[in-house]
Amino acid sequence: MDGLVIKNTGSWYVVYTDDRREIPAKIKGNFRIKGIRTTNPVAVGDRVCVVVNDDGTGFITSIYPRKNYIIRRASNLSKESHILASNIDRAYLVVTIDHPVTSTTFIDRFLASAEAYNVPVTIVFNKTDLLQDNDGRELLDAVDYLYSSIGYDTIIACA
């Protein structure tokens, strides 16, 4: 039975099946996606095949090809990566100009990673209502112009 991984907690995954059931499942066998060394072979967003057991749990037996994914370096100091999510339609990067400041270095690193794996990004500038003075508004306008002029969708918000 096919489904979509919608949650991961430790070694357990929740698979939303095509017949609209949520099946708690574990990985069966040794998974390694060709050419990708990751700490987690299955990620939220993966389309998978799951075999359901009599007790209602399941085993993920295969993963369908991914259209894209977002990764980060694994935290265990290995040279492996950790897949954060896969088959992403669009990422929304929520940043702030102030309260607290989101550095453009952080934004650029996220955008570079997303570009490398073909994930479209919209940058959301949040907490814009907290920009009291002209300097803050001018900085917002400049950063918004910077990213929109190189092709990124931007949204100015105060949520």
What is the block-wise mean pLDDT of the chain (159 residues), using blocks of 10 residues? 95 96 88 64 94 95 93 68 91 95 94 94 96 88 96 95
Chosen domain end from 65, 82, 115: 65
Question: Can you tell me the distance from the alpha carbon of 126 to that of 155, in angstroms, rounded to the nearest whole number?
Answer: 8
Please tell me the predicted confidence (pLDDT) of residue 106.
95
CATH number, domain with residue 60: 2.40.50.140
Please tell me the predicted confidence (pLDDT) of residue 37.
66
b/e per residue, 97-108, with b = 16+ CB within 10 A? bbeeebeeeebe
pTM: 0.78
User: Does residue 73 lie in a domain region?
Assistant: no
Please tell me the predicted confidence (pLDDT) of residue 79.
64
User: Does residue 102 lie in a domain region?
Assistant: yes
User: Does residue 120 lie in a domain region?
Assistant: yes
User: Does residue 9 lie in a domain region?
Assistant: yes
User: Does residue 74 lie in a domain region?
Assistant: no
Please tell me the predicted confidence (pLDDT) of residue 28.
78
Q: Quick one: 112 and 59 in the same domain?
A: no
Contact yes or no for 22/6 (Cβ under 8 A): yes
CATH number, domain with residue 136: 3.40.50.300
Q: How many residues does the chain have?
A: 159
**Domain interval for residue 7:** 2-65
Q: Quick one: 52 and 108 in the same domain?
A: no
Chosen domain end from 30, 65, 100: 65
Please tell me the predicted confidence (pLDDT) of residue 40.
80
Write out the H or E segment, with its range, that includes residue 7: strand 2-9
- Tokens 């952080």 locate to 106
Please tell me the predicted confidence (pLDDT) of residue 82.
81
Residue ranges of the alpha helices (H) in the chain? 104-116, 134-149
User: Does residue 127 lie in a domain region?
Assistant: yes
- For residue 39, give the amino acid letter: T
Question: Can you tell me the distance from the alpha carbon of 157 to that of 140, in angstroms, rounded to the nearest whole number?
Answer: 11
User: Does residue 82 lie in a domain region?
Assistant: no
User: Does residue 84 lie in a domain region?
Assistant: no
Please tell me the predicted confidence (pLDDT) of residue 151.
96
How many separate domains does the chain show? 2
Contact yes or no for 40/8 (Cβ under 8 A): yes
